[in-house]
Every structure is written in structure tokens, then in C-alpha cells.
């Protein structure tokens, strides 16, 4: 870093300069506030400034920098013998990044500079660094996927706690956006995980009372929501006949949401995703066809929970439970899920074969 020292004590100025240069920094020095303001025009990466100086004191130097648009964002740290909170608070109110109380150690200075340097990184990059420290704790891909959004929440909160006194409003809003996105993704993954295990339990202990639902409206609504969330509303083509099925609406919509989300995720914008619902005597066939990456016949025959086919190739996110949830819903209510490659070998055809009421 290019660092400017503004310090009227010659001995302290020399010691501080030596510490910084030994640690690889480029250093400029000024003996008073006026010299410091002139030297700041070179746009250093960091300014270390004494508070009590003849002529312009440290507060006045900072105030002058804050009035200069191209200099106001330079990180500014006070060097002071004052340890009372009122003095520190006054400096922070003026826009100081931090305080170092004299006498200081080399470690305190190097730690401070490392902290300032991290603060200058983009917020998302800093959150990513916090997350990488936790990633080695998680082994399986699905477990890693479940933990990642929670780490985003914790990483964002850690930065907010560490910089609560100095963080700018716009930076705080960005961090809170990262926290919210992580929390919402965590909720979605947790909901899917709970649903999967509830369905697994229902396989061995089916519900005593069978609800019914009118199928067309529910499957069309689920597919429409998935299309809108994917930014693919114009790619969805619907054609569904009416029928009553012997299963609760929330299970039907859960299965359809998973199948539709897969179809949009694994096919490109502009390619059609076609959903049809057809009554065939006492059965109802819900068929979802996409023109995406598809699956091989072997993969279609062997969908395993918590497994994503060719995860690295397709840069997938999620727990690998979507097809398992759809299959469980079908099996609990006397149906089945059929998967096969597209008609010309492109994409995937997913068919829910369910009994009518």
C-alpha cells in the first residue's frame, strides 16, 4: 500500500516509517497538518495522522479531506495518546476509519493495515473469503449446499458486527441484501429437505384420509410460478384437461414445482417448456417436456436422492431432491414418475402418471 504518515514527532515518524517499509509498504511522511494535506493530493491508499499537532490538528486535516471529493474516501486512521471514548467518537463522526493509541506495537500497526485492506475489497469478495474458511468443514456435496447459504448469512453478519461503527449506509444495505438472499435460499433448501423426509415417512405410513383436488388449475399455477421465477414466462406452453385427483393440492403442487424448476434450470432461455395434462380413462398423465441438457436412459432409470448428475459440468445448485420428491408424491398416491430422453434425443420428458378420483 501507499501510506501517508502525518506526525509532528520526528522520532515517532521515523519509527513508524521503518515499520511500514519493512512490511513492504511505500511511505510518504509529513511533519504537520498543512504538509499532510498537500501530500494527500497524491492519493495514498491510507493516511495515518496524529491528532494533536501545531497548526492544523488531526481533526482539521480530516475535515479538510472530507470537503475534497476525490480525497474523502481515503481511509484515515488517527494516531493518538487519547484513549477516552469521547475523542474516538468525535473522530468517527468526522469520518475516521479507525484509531491507534500511542504507544503502539508493530503487530497493532500491521493488523490495522490488514483490516483496512480487507475493508477496501468488494463486499461480496470479503464475504466469500469468510465462507471459504468454513467450507473444509463440510464434506458431501449436498451437505455443502445446505450449509453455503447459512455461511453467507453468518459472513455478512460478521462483517456488520466488525465494522458497525464505520460502515457506510450503502455498504450496510448491500451486506443486508447478502444476508437476506442467504436466508431466503436457506429457507428454500430447508423446506425442501423437510418435505423430502415427510414424504419418505408417508410411504410407510400413508395418510388415512385422502384429499382430492382439481388438477388443471394447480399444475398450471405451479408451472407458471416456476417460469416467472426463472425469467422464462414466455417459454412456457400449457394445455391441461380438467380432472379430479385423489391427493392433496399441496403435494401435487410440490411435485409440479420441482419438475418445472428442473425443466427451466436445465434448458436455455428461449427454448420451449411444454406442459400437458391429459385424462386417459381412469388415469391422468402430466407431461413436462424441455429442450435442455437432458439425461441418459441410465440416469433416467436411477435417480438417487442427494445426487446430482454431472454436477461439475452443469454447475448445479441444490440438494438433488427434486426428482425424488416428485417420485415420492406419485408413489404415495398410487402413481409413478417416468423419465425419458426427449423425442429426438434432446431434453427430457417427465411424466407423472396418477390415478383419477
CB distance 38 to 31 below 8 Å: no
Distances (CA, A) of 127 to 93, 135, 269: 26, 13, 30
The verdict on 84 and 186 lying in the same domain is no
State the total domains in the chain: 3
Are the beta carbons of 51 and 95 closer than 8 angstroms?
Answer: no
CA angle 200, 204, 206 (to 5 degrees): 95
Domain shared by 72 and 153, yes or no: no
* Cell numbers at 32, concatenated: 504537520
Q: Do 41 and 166 belong together in one domain? A: no
Pick 27 or 98 by higher pLDDT: 27
Report the CATH number at residue 60. Answer: 3.40.50.2300
Half-sphere exposure of 244 (CA within 13 A, CB side): 4
**Last residue in a domain, options 204, 227, 247:** 204
Residues 197 and 96 reside in one and the same domain? no
Spatial separation of the C-alpha atoms in residues 353 and 304, rounded to whole Å: 20
- Domain boundary, last residue among 71, 100, 119: 119
pTM of the model: 0.52
Choosing from 119, 150, 174, the residue where a domain stops is 119
Biggest CA–CA distance in the chain, Å, is: 96
Residues of the chain above pLDDT 90, percent: 43
Coil, helix or strand for 30? strand
Do 145 and 50 belong to one domain?
no
- Written as nine digits, the cell of 21 is 517499509
Domain that holds residue 178: 123-204
> pLDDT for 197-254, tens place per residue?
888 888 877 766 678 999 999 999 999 999 999 999 999 999 999 999 999 999 999 9
Instruction: Give the residue carrying C-alpha cell 519509527.
Output: 15
CATH number of residue 295's parent domain: 3.30.565.10
Q: Average pLDDT in the 270-299 region?
A: 91
- Find the CATH number of the domain harbouring 196: 1.10.287
Tell the burial category of 107 from Cβ atoms under 10 Å away from its Cβ (0-12, 13-18, 19+): exposed
Residues 95 and 23 in one domain: yes
Residues 184 and 135 in one domain: yes
Shared domain for 83 and 135, answered yes or no, is: no
pLDDT band for 311, please (50, 70, 90 cuts): very low
Same domain, 137 and 78: no
Confidence band of 188 (pLDDT split at 50, 70, 90): confident
Q: Which of 16-30, 142-156, 201-215, 239-253 has the lowest mean pLDDT?
A: 142-156
Q: What is the average pLDDT value for the chain, to the nearest integer? A: 83
Same-domain pairing of 350 and 258: yes
In angstroms, the CA 112 to CA 114 distance is 5
The verdict on 76 and 140 lying in the same domain is: no
Listed ranges 157-171, 242-256, 308-322; the one with the highest mean pLDDT: 242-256
Distance between CA atoms of residues 324 and 161, nearest Å: 40
Same domain, 106 and 233: no
Q: What share of the chain is helix, strand, coil (3-state, %, to 5)?
A: 50, 15, 30
33 with 53: CB under 8 angstroms? yes
Q: Which residues of 269-298 are buried (b: 16+ CB within 10 A; e: fewer)?
A: eeeebbbbbeeeeeebbbbbbbbbbbbeee
At residue 237, what are phi and psi to the nearest 5 degrees? -120, 120
CA dist 294 and 95 (Å) reads 56
| 236-240 and 273-280 strand pairing | parallel
DSSP-assigned states of every residue in 51-100: SS-SSS-HHHHHHHHHTSTTTTTS-EEEEES---HHHHHHHHHHT--EEE
Say yes or no to pLDDT of 35 above 90: yes
Amino acid at each position: 500500500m501507499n501510506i501517508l504518515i502525518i506526525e509532528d514527532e520526528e522520532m515517532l515518524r521515523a519509527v513508524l516509517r521503518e515499520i511500514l517499509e519493512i512490511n513492504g509498504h511505500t511511505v510518504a511522511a509529513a511533519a504537520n497538518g498543512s504538509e499532510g494535506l498537500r501530500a494527500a493530493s497524491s492519493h495514498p491508499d491510507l493516511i495515518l495522522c496524529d491528532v494533536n499537532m501545531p497548526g492544523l490538528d488531526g481533526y482539521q486535516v480530516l475535515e479538510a479531506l472530507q470537503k475534497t471529493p476525490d480525497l474523502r474516501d481515503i481511509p484515515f486512521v488517527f494516531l493518538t495518546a487519547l484513549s477516552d471514548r469521547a475523542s474516538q467518537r468525535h473522530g468517527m463522526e468526522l469520518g475516521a476509519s479507525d484509531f491507534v493509541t500511542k504507544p503502539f506495537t508493530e503487530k497493532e500497526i500491521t493488523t490495522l493495515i490488514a483490516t483496512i485492506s480487507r475493508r477496501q475489497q468488494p463486499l461480496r469478495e470479503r464475504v466469500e473469503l469468510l465462507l471459504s474458511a468454513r467450507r473444509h468443514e463440510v464434506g458431501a456435496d449436498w451437505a455443502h449446499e445446505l450449509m453455503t447459504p447459512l455461511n453467507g448469512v453468518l459472513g455478512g453478519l460478521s462483517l456488520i458486527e466488525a465494522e458497525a461503527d464505520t460502515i457506510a449506509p450503502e455498504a450496510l444495505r448491500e451486506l443486508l441484501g447478502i444476508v437476506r438472499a442467504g436466508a431466503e435460499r436457506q429457507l428454500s433448501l430447508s423446506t425442501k429437505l423437510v418435505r423430502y423426509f415427510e414424504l419418505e415417512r408417508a410411504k410407510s405410513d400413508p395418510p388415512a384420509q385422502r384429499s382430492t383436488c382439481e388438477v388443471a388449475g394447480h399444475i398450471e399455477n405451479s408451472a407458471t410460478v416456476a417460469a416467472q421465477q426463472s425469467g422464462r414466462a414466455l417459454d412456457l406452453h400449457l394445455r391441461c384437461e380438467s380432472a379430479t385427483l385423489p391427493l392433496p393440492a399441496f403435494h401435487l403442487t410440490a411435485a409440479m414445482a420441482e419438475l418445472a424448476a428442473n425443466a427451466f434450470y436445465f434448458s436455455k432461455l428461449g427454448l420451449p417448456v411444454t406442459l400437458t395434462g391429459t385424462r386417459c380413462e381412469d388415469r391422468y398423465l402430466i407431461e413436462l417436456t424441455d429442450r435442455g441438457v437432458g439425461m441418459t436412459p441410465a440416469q433416467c432409470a436411477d435417480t438417487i436422492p442427494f445426487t446430482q448428475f454431472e454436477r461439475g459440468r452443469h454447475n448445479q445448485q441444490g440438494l438433488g431432491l427434486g426428482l425424488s420428491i416428485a417420485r415420492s408424491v406419485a408413489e404415495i398416491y398410487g402413481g409413478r414418475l417416468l423419465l425419458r430422453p426427449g423425442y429426438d434425443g434432446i431434453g427430457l420428458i417427465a411424466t407423472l402418471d396418477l390415478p383419477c378420483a
